Amino acid sequence: MGGASSTPPKPPLSENSKLVAEEVKQHAVVIYTKDGCGYCVKAKNELYEDGIHYTEKNLNTVAKVIPNPQDYINGLMDLTRQRTVPQIFICGKFVGGYTELNALRPNLSKMLETCSVDNGETLRREYASKI
């Protein structure tokens, strides 16, 4: 009857998605990759060129070292609604893949400063030491 449209509520996170969500909050930049992924390599190279430290979670390696690796991968996919890699989180938020990272590149340092616990002081020091 009414003309208002509404978006359905997001389903609650699975336990595996909650684990991934907590994991990405522990680092400023987290990138989920797989072996042989060209866009993963490009994303990591751009982060390196910009002097931005990141934590890489290679899903091929994860599959070898944790019990029920498919549950972990499913948790990541449930959280991001993406099936491809790279999957990149900045400041605990999913930003997308390589294309989205590349678009954010001019503002990435500023974004990291705003989410840093110490207002970016540590990130500024790390970046300055690379120059």
The proportion of the chain whose per-residue pLDDT surpasses 70, expressed as a percent, equals 79
- Other Cβ atoms within 10 Å of 19 Cβ, number: 15
Task: Give the tens place of pLDDT for each residue, 48-60.
Answer: 999 999 999 999 9
Select the more confidently predicted residue: 32 or 130: 32
Where exactly are the structural domains of the chain?
15-130
| pLDDT above 70 for 73 | yes
> Does the predicted model carry a pTM greater than 0.85?
no
Q: In the CATH scheme, what architecture does the domain 15-130 have?
A: 3-Layer(aba) Sandwich (3.40)
Mean pLDDT of 34-51: 96
